[in-house]
Amino acid sequence: MDILKNLPVTDNHIHVDDVNGYGAIKVAKIFYNAGGKVMIVLNKPTFDGHLTRSMDILVRDVEKINKETPVKAFGLVGVHPAELTYLMKFMSLEEAKEKIINALNYAKKLVEENDFIVGIGEVGRPHYKVNDDVWKTSNEILKYCMSLAKDLDCAIQIHAESSTEEQFKEFSEMAKKVNLNPERVVKHHCGDMVVEGEKYGIFPSILASRVNENVVKKSLRFVMETDYIDDLKRPGVVLGIKTVPRVTRKLIEKDVLDEDKVYKIHKENIEKIYKIDLDL
């Protein structure tokens, strides 16, 4: 019997794309057949100026996964921070900011209207070098996103530059200024910053390939992700669909994880972040 058969296994950051990739249903079935149970799905950046269209597609895709596959799916909606620099090819920084804020207000509406849309994300600031004005505006947009998360009582997933202790401290203070609990703030793609996460309250979402015995020994206060982008021209980027179940299974076989630890990482932490119930 597969050791993952009755265990919750969650990918905390995954994309699906019916046009360029396998699409929602096939991705979910591949994930489930590998041992996965829960997907947190985020809309992809569009880079076409239509910021809300991908959110609507995300809502539809999450509904399809829940209706047509055994996977339990939840969605986050937002505007990827790279959209700001894309929009500035066609408009001023202020106009681009206004367009993004309007789209984020639409994201707020989707969270309010759909029980399975459980947060704002991925939002944040560019992971590449930008000028001071773009950096300042990106941080202003991020603060606005945190205010939305506070008003909605929901989670927020942040895309940003490589994580450091100083960054965790900054995001924690930013959240507290708008009265958002830092434990609802997830830093996606964050190395193995579990100790820093505990110190500042930010929740680390770690690429599954980075999760090992050293991380588990430090703390179980993290979740796992692939950041799979579902683009057949870039297969397996960032990590493949099966990676979270595969790594979890391997760590169980090595006695690094046991059933209780799997439940902590994949179920209890996810339930705490998103305020959802994973009765699988």
- The model's pLDDT over 178-206, given as tens digits with 9 standing for 90+, comes to 999 999 999 999 989 999 999 999 999 99
- pTM for the model: 0.97
Distance (Å, rounded) from C-alpha 27 to C-alpha 219?
30
SS3 state of residue 174 = helix
Q: Are 138 and 148 in contact (CB under 8 A)?
A: no
Tens digit of each residue's pLDDT (9 = 90 or more) over 48-61: 999 999 999 999 99
CATH 3.30.200.20 fits 10-274, yes or no: no
Q: 280 pLDDT band (50/70/90 cuts)?
A: low
Burial letters for 65-97: b for 16+ Cβ neighbours within 10 Å, e otherwise? bbeebebbbbbbbbbbbbbbbebbeeeebeebb
Mean pLDDT within 250-264: 97
Question: Residue holding tokens 């397996």?
Answer: 236
Average pLDDT score, the chain: 97
Instruction: Break the chain into its structural domains and give their ranges.
Output: 10-274
Rounded to 10 deg, the angle between the 24-33 and 53-68 helix axes is 50
